[in-house]
Structure 1
Amino acid sequence: MAEPVEWRPDGTPYSARFDDVYRPASGGLEQARHVFLRGCGLPEAWGGRAQWRILETGFGLGLNFLAAWRAWKDDPQRPRLLHFVSVEAWPVAAEDIVRSAAGHAQLEPLARELAAQWFGLAPGAHRLSFDDGRVLLTLHVRDAQEMLRQEPFTADSVFLDGFDPQRNPQMWDEPLIKAVARHCRRGARLATWTASGDVRRALAAAGFEVHKVEGLAPKRHATHALFDPRWEPKGAHREPPPAGDAVVIGAGLAGAATAASLARRGWRVTVLDAAAAPAAGASALPVGLLAAHVSADDGLLSRLSREGVRMTLGEARRALRDGEDWRETGVRRNDGLWQERAAWIKPAPLVRAWLSQPRIEFRGNTRVESLSDLSADLVVVAAAHGSQALVGDRVQLHPVRGQVAWGRQEDGWAVPASPVNGDGHFIPSVPLDGSLAWFCGSTYGRGDADTAIRDEDTKANLQRLRALLPDMAAQLEGRDVKAWAGVRCTSRDRRPLVGEIDPRVWLVTAMGSRGLTFSLLAAELLAARLHDEPLPIDARLAAAIDVARALRPQA
């Protein structure tokens, strides 16, 4: 449930929880620009940088983020990538974000874009992507000190924000400010609207050079600070490596997503595949269902898949043709649960969209026999089960055969309005070669790498459909039923494997039957690890899919 905002007659937003206003009567945009952007020397400070990382301690109504995004868009010297990391224990409703930006012509369209992705904000980390993935908002819905203790990233600027220190003291106390300092690189600048003596003393004790400056009415003073401690900070922060030449092996969903994530960060990426065209393996599946896993305890797979679905939906909206390549239909589960944020997607168009980005070259009919033959600055193995031959016994991978049944949809049929998911799934009304098609499946043959079509698997899929949708199955009796089969790849614990296995060699594989869900998430996690960026998911979730858990030591 969203945090209620009381809008006073003069347009000032008020929080009953903290008995304080979200922004001054003079306007939040003026505060964002005068106090926070200028206080951190922005946009001048980020000029010419490959990326810039802003940490904010209270998202509120989002005006600081919108102002930073607007400044980035307007700056010809902007960094290639802008990261904005914020924490908010009590997220407001999307309509309050739009209302807060009303009257600011430069911010209103950005606020609407933000509101369109402002959903499903359960406790945890949520990655929202804008401007073709070059502006990334990582929103942590939880306690600020907890987030700062657990999440690894380096900040270039800090917006120290929140309700008044007297009304929300834990957002300004010494432990929190020390936690902020641990994320700062030397030279990072911090700005805040308060000139509280306690806050300034805590900043100084944490290693900041502190200055009281002219504030924005009704505040007489504000605070600027520079992180330059007399001691060497714990946990050395490294600069991101310069983007060079990268080779990605595999042109399926995982490989294409990884290539796109690297290219956005300036890498020149060559994608190699033994097939003549991209999406020739399991990613050649005609259509897939994108829906989060649901569990009573909201376990690991549920949380991971929910964030993967969020990220892939954003890419589909950006890059695919609605109604032709994908459609956000929602999905009905056989237990009656309705999942609004779900879609059918054709994997091949998504792969092609990712590979069409600048700085990416695809080379087909190219089989890699040994990683030692590659001389790139970075090599990423994303060849599904084919990765096993390249990494040897460093990890254990398993092939999983899957077969789906499909056919042409006939006029007059009674079909569900949306996909149905349960023991198997049914996807209706997918455009295919000028008509509509239905799909159901899939089988799950662990340890089986044969792609030959099997009649018994088609029968098994139709039997599951009889249990899932008996009326639909009855309409298929005697009709022509076709099939498609492919081989997926899983790890021992059925979770993806993402991480560095040797110097300059990374692995992204084992997406299992959730390639649409996990490929972009895994690609962005790899890029974040490589560049010391904020992670797209909670650190604990990231550890759960880190290849380190399954990596065998070399002999």
Structure 2
Amino acid sequence: LPDAWAGQPQWLILETGFGFGLNFLTTWAAWRADPARPRLLHFVSVEAHPVAPGELLRAAAAYPELIELARALASRWDELLPGFHRLSFDDGRVLLTLCVGDVQAMLRAQRFEADSIFLDGFSPDRNPQMWSPDTLKAVSRFARRGTGIATWTIARAVRDALTQNGFQVRKAPGLPPKRDCLRGVFDPAWTPRRRTPPAERTGPGRCAVIGAGLGGAAVAASLARRGWRVTVFDRADRPAAGASGLPVGVLAPHVSPDDALLSRLTRAGLRATWQQLESMLLEGQDWRASGVLERRPEGDVRVPPGWRAEGPNLSWPADAVQLHAARLPPDTAALWHRRAGWVRPRALIEAWLAQPGIEVRTGTEATALEASAAGWHVLDTQRKPLGMFDRVVVAAGFESGRFAPLLPLQPVRGQVEWGHAPAHTPLPSMPVNGDGHLIAGVPDGERLLWLGGATFDRDSTDMSARAADAAANRARLVRLHPLAGALQPESSWVGVRCASGDRRPLVGPVAGPPGVWVCTALGSRGLTFAALCAELLAAHWHGEPLPLPAALAKALDTRRP
């Protein structure tokens, strides 16, 4: 590198042993400096014991050209619990997927064909597991014919093991203090057999996205970053007119004592969204990184075994200081979520849809799809074609069922109340959730907006506000926070969410001719899941590394049991 990646649309690297991150930082710097760089750089690294952020900075201090990048890396180096962590840089064009855990388990959980492989920098004597026959065999499963490999280790046992797994290797001059290194290429004398065929790397083309809410906007942005020309259709006269049009929403993780599937999914989704918020929106106006206090009415503030007050987890039972800031009694049972806050969904949607390569056609209702030899026609209410596209993504909320009738979709009506409070009104400075949620102190011109609710009315698409729901929301708010009784609602907001049968998002192909996918059923967690689901869809299309372990990705797939 960088000669090998010149002119390529993307470059995928697998590394065993992240260490202090110098391989990643050097590769990132080379990518930045190369005018012929690929559009997207994926760097996947396995690390059992991530170092502290300060150690990353100290290691990079000897290389002035890497210090700026090391600071950017250290700023996102948090909550590195076991599992996958997708860290995004340079407007989403440099993607680091850090796989924290045992090397063989992490390799089993990831699937892609690497263009380059970097092996652990420590010798087999110091880190034998990284060089075991099983590990090197697992690494070889990521190689295609022509994949390059490199390591600082030149031990004879390593050379022999790599040769047995299909790599042609040779010693080459190293860099101080290393005199030699090992380089090679995957070129086995036999035809490799794969349990599952490698994912197809689809080239960018024209894509229609039906729906201009959180799901559709996130998909459009992810595909546009990869070179697709995206047209977004929505029958409303503006984006974010449906359930994604909530004036302000809570962004917070789900925490369970056993770290259940939903908990792991929401952590991954929240990280994906958080990075988008940091890079695209104005903090304090469009969103606020205030943290969220979650009340636990039954007093259960248990967290998964191994979590600690000092981290790396960012959720922990609330202490007296946090409860005081939330204006709650010191004996209140609650969790404090540090990476959490409030977001204006419309601001995020507009930022996504403003990316280059995206055309938004509002006031245009797509009602049907028609396959042809050249692709897919998107048809309007008169069955007239709105355009021809290579692929279509349906992200139309509960109306996605029109295009995917076999999916288990359910409308869920929700109502919230909102109003304005005088600046001196004593209210919590961060969102409080639990049985409902209260968001206060949101800038709205010269006033401060508050919002609370919400109701869940399954199988209802009624968009009219209901007095009974408003009363239920008022009662819910008073139970949630003792100061909420003084709030005077000015209006109600109603939206219809889309949920699946198991309450998890649906991302994947629709049954029938190939080319139609969905990204839907985000439920009440659209802010949490939209960016993650969009990146998962893009990874499937382009043969990229998954942003989630394979088991979690399968849990979101339309083809799941």
TM over 0.5: yes
Q: Give the match for residue 551 of structure 2.
A: 540
Quote how far apart the aligned CAs of 1:480 are: 4.2
Question: Is residue 323 of structure 2 the alignment partner of residue 311 of structure 1?
Answer: no
Could you list the per-position Cα deviations for residues 172-226 of structure 1 after superposition, in whole angstroms to 9, with x for gaps in the alignment?
1221111111101210100000110000000100001110122334433211010
Could you list the per-position Cα deviations for residues 9-61 of structure 1 after superposition, in whole angstroms to 9, with x for gaps in the alignment?
xxxxxxxxxxxxxxxxxxxxxxxxxxxxxxxxx01110100000010000111
Question: Is residue 344 of structure 2 the alignment partner of residue 383 of structure 1?
Answer: no
DSSP-derived class of the 2:188 partner:
coil
State which of 44, 49, 52 in structure 2 corresponds to 1:93: 52
Quote how far apart the aligned CAs of 1:238 are: 5.2
Aligned residues between the structures: 505
DSSP-derived class of the 2:19 partner:
coil
Q: Give the match for residue 247 of structure 2.
A: 286
Contact 1:177–1:206 (8 Å) recurs in 2: yes
Contact 1:329–1:342 (8 Å) recurs in 2: yes
Q: Give the match for residue 530 of structure 1.
A: 541
Q: Give the match for residue 5 of structure 1.
A: none
Quote how far apart the aligned CAs of 1:105 are: 2.6
Contact 1:162–1:171 (8 Å) recurs in 2: no
Question: Is residue 466 of structure 2 the alignment partner of residue 507 of structure 1?
Answer: no
Could you list the per-position Cα deviations for residues 35-88 of structure 1 after superposition, in whole angstroms to 9, with x for gaps in the alignment?
xxxxxxx01110100000010000111111111111101100000000000010
Identity %: 55
Q: CA RMSD in A?
A: 1.2
Q: Within 5 Å, which residues of 2 pair with 1:79-478?
A: 79-235=38-194, 236-237=197-198, 240-334=201-295, 335-372=333-370, 373-374=377-378, 375-392=388-405, 394-470=406-482, 472-476=483-487
Q: State the one-letter code of the partner of 2:80.
A: L
Contact 1:185–1:237 (8 Å) recurs in 2: no
Contact 1:128–1:136 (8 Å) recurs in 2: yes
Could you list the per-position Cα deviations for residues 281-322 of structure 1 after superposition, in whole angstroms to 9, with x for gaps in the alignment?
011100000000111111000000011011101000111111
Quote how far apart the aligned CAs of 1:122 are: 0.7
Structure 2, gaps ≥5 residues long:
296-332, 371-376, 379-387
Contact 2:249–2:342 (8 Å) recurs in 1: yes
CA distance in 2, matches of 1:446, 1:238: 37
Q: State the one-letter code of the partner of 2:75.
A: A
Q: State the one-letter code of the partner of 2:231.
A: T
Question: Is residue 452 of structure 2 the alignment partner of residue 491 of structure 1?
Answer: no
Contact 1:159–1:190 (8 Å) recurs in 2: yes
Could you list the per-position Cα deviations for residues 214-263 of structure 1 after superposition, in whole angstroms to 9, with x for gaps in the alignment?
23344332110100111122224355111110001000000000001111
Quote how far apart the aligned CAs of 1:106 are: 2.1
Q: Give the match for residue 7 of structure 1.
A: none
Contact 1:440–1:465 (8 Å) recurs in 2: yes
Q: Give the match for residue 303 of structure 2.
A: none
CA distance in 1, matches of 2:249, 2:77: 25
TM-score of the superposition, structure 2-length normalised?
Answer: 0.88
DSSP-derived class of the 1:391 partner:
coil
Structure 1, gaps ≥5 residues long:
1-41, 551-555
CA distance in 2, matches of 1:266, 1:434: 41
CA distance in 1, matches of 2:494, 2:108: 46
CA distance in 2, matches of 1:297, 1:529: 29
Contact 1:94–1:118 (8 Å) recurs in 2: yes
DSSP-derived class of the 2:559 partner:
helix
Quote how far apart the aligned CAs of 1:103 are: 3.9
CA distance in 1, matches of 2:22, 2:356: 32
Contact 1:246–1:376 (8 Å) recurs in 2: yes
Pair 162,104 (structure 1): closer, same or farther in 2 beyond 3 Å:
closer
Of stretches 404-413 and 338-347 in structure 1, the one that deviates more from structure 2 is: 404-413
Q: State the one-letter code of the partner of 1:214.
A: P
Of stretches 501-510 and 101-110 in structure 1, the one that deviates more from structure 2 is: 101-110
Contact 1:269–1:361 (8 Å) recurs in 2: yes
Q: Give the match for residue 31 of structure 1.
A: none
Could you list the per-position Cα deviations for residues 84-141 of structure 1 after superposition, in whole angstroms to 9, with x for gaps in the alignment?
0001000111111122112433211111111111111110001110000000000000
Quote how far apart the aligned CAs of 1:505 are: 0.7
Pair 499,238 (structure 1): closer, same or farther in 2 beyond 3 Å:
closer
Could you list the per-position Cα deviations for residues 457-510 of structure 1 after superposition, in whole angstroms to 9, with x for gaps in the alignment?
11111111111111x12322xx34321110000001110000012401111100
Whose relative contact order is higher, 1 or 2, with alpha carbons under 8 Å and at least 6 apart?
A: 2
Q: Give the match for residue 321 of structure 2.
A: none
Contact 1:182–1:234 (8 Å) recurs in 2: no
CA distance in 2, matches of 1:480, 1:187: 65
CA distance in 2, matches of 1:144, 1:56: 10
Contact 2:477–2:485 (8 Å) recurs in 1: no
CA distance in 2, matches of 1:150, 1:285: 36
DSSP-derived class of the 1:190 partner:
strand
